């Protein structure tokens, strides 16, 4: 719901001090709450904090909605984006907490009931 101007000020006065050069992507201004309504994060007066990972086909692959008192984890967001990109490029699947370079699995019927033997949690 914040205006383009308030995003610009936030980027210049806060984000650029937390992230070298500021966040490297555009922020969306939803002044009328229409997008918030579509994603069910608009309560009639304000959008709650929501983030959505949407794949190239327009399918929501992940989402997180938090009320303002609780901060979001940008490292986890970036990890999830990298995992989804890796999955789309390779067809492999990743366990919780996967980081690039960690083991993955190629889905198959043979793995059913045996994933624990491969990943050894």
φ/ψ (deg, to 5) at 106: -100, 115
Q: Which domains does the chain have, with CATH numbers?
A: 4-74 (3.40.30.10), 75-119 (no CATH)
What tokens appear for 72 in the block?
């979001």
Q: Does residue 105 have a pLDDT over 70?
A: yes
What pLDDT score was predicted for residue 81?
93
By percentage, how much of the chain surpasses pLDDT 90? 29
Contact status, residue 15 vs residue 7, Cβ threshold 8 Å: no
Question: Which band of pLDDT confidence, cut at 50, 70 and 90, is reported for residue 10?
Answer: confident
107/114 Cα distance (integer angstroms): 11
More confident site: 121 or 3: 3
pLDDT (tens digit per residue) in 57-66: 999 999 998 8
- Global pTM? 0.74
Of the candidates 44, 39, 42, the one whose C-alpha atom is nearest the C-alpha of residue 63 is 39
SS3 114: coil
What tokens appear for 46 in the block?
């304000």
65, β-bridge pairs: 50
61/30 Cα distance (integer angstroms): 21
Q: Does residue 120 have a pLDDT over 80?
A: no
For 68, how many CA atoms within 13 A lie in the half-sphere containing its CB? 5
pLDDT (tens digit per residue) in 26-57: 888 888 888 888 888 887 776 678 889 999 99
Lowest mean pLDDT among 19-28, 93-102, 107-116: 19-28
Question: Which band of pLDDT confidence, cut at 50, 70 and 90, is reported for residue 92?
Answer: very high
Element (H, E) at 96: none
Tokens 């198959």 belong to 108
């Amino acid at each position: 719901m914040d205006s383009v101007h308030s995003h610009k000020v936030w980027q210049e006065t806060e984000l650029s001090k937390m992230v070298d050069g500021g966040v490297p992507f555009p922020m969306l201004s939803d002044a009328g709450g229409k997008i918030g309504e579509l994603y069910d994060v608009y309560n009639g007066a304000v959008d709650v904090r929501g983030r959505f990972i949407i794949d190239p086909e327009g399918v929501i692959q992940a989402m997180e909605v938090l009320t303002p008192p609780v901060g979001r984890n940008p490292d986890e967001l970036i990890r999830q984006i990298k995992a989804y990109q890796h999955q789309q490029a390779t067809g492999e699947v990743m366990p919780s907490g996967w980081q690039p370079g960690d083991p993955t699995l190629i889905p198959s019927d043979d793995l059913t009931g045996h994933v624990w033997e491969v990943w050894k949690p």
